[in-house]
């Protein structure tokens, strides 16, 4: 079955960086668009980024463009999210999600998330 396992979260100071990973299995990763979504403590879901199956197209939430970078390594079945210049308001659980057949529409399967805490 589909499995998505995020890692790389932790505590970082404001202005710092982190790289999140999402290890995928149970489907043909190289054929599937992938997404990142976050959830601040006690809040709702916020979509962040999308990367096409071959990384030729990337889309971002406007408010994170220039600070967050999505990438993938299809040889390793792994999705990444580089978080730079982090702010306290970036504190959240970060989820990766497998896109639907089209790739862009909705999240078919989700990982359990990794917690990022931005604090001095």
Among 13, 17, 31, 112, binds other proteins (CB under 8 A): 112
For residues 93 and 98, what is the distance between their CA atoms, to the nearest angstrom?
17
Residues paired with 51 in a beta bridge: 34, 58
Give DSSP secondary structure letters for 2-23.
-EEEEE--EEE-TT--EEEEEE
Among 44, 56, 75, 120, binds other proteins (CB under 8 A): 44
By the rule CB under 8 A, 8 interacts with other proteins = no
By the rule CB under 8 A, 59 interacts with other proteins = yes
Among 46, 53, 67, 69, binds other proteins (CB under 8 A): 46
Q: How far is CA 73 from CA 30, 38, 51, in A?
A: 9, 21, 11
Q: Which parts of this chain interact with other proteins (CB under 8 A)?
A: 35, 37, 44-47, 50, 59, 61, 95, 97, 100, 104-113
């Amino acid at each position: 079955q589909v499995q998505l396992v995020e890692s790389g979260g932790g505590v970082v100071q404001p202005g710092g960086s982190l790289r999140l990973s999402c290890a995928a299995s149970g489907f043909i990763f190289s054929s599937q668009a992938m997404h990142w979504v976050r959830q601040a403590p006690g809040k709702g879901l916020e979509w962040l980024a999308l990367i096409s199956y071959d990384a030729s197209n990337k889309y971002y939430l406007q408010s994170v463009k220039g600070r967050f970078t999505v990438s993938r390594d299809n040889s390793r079945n792994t999705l990444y999210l580089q978080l730079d210049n982090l702010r306290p308001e970036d504190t959240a659980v970060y989820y990766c999600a497998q896109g639907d057949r089209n790739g862009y529409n909705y999240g078919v399967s989700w990982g359990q998330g990794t917690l990022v805490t931005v604090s001095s």
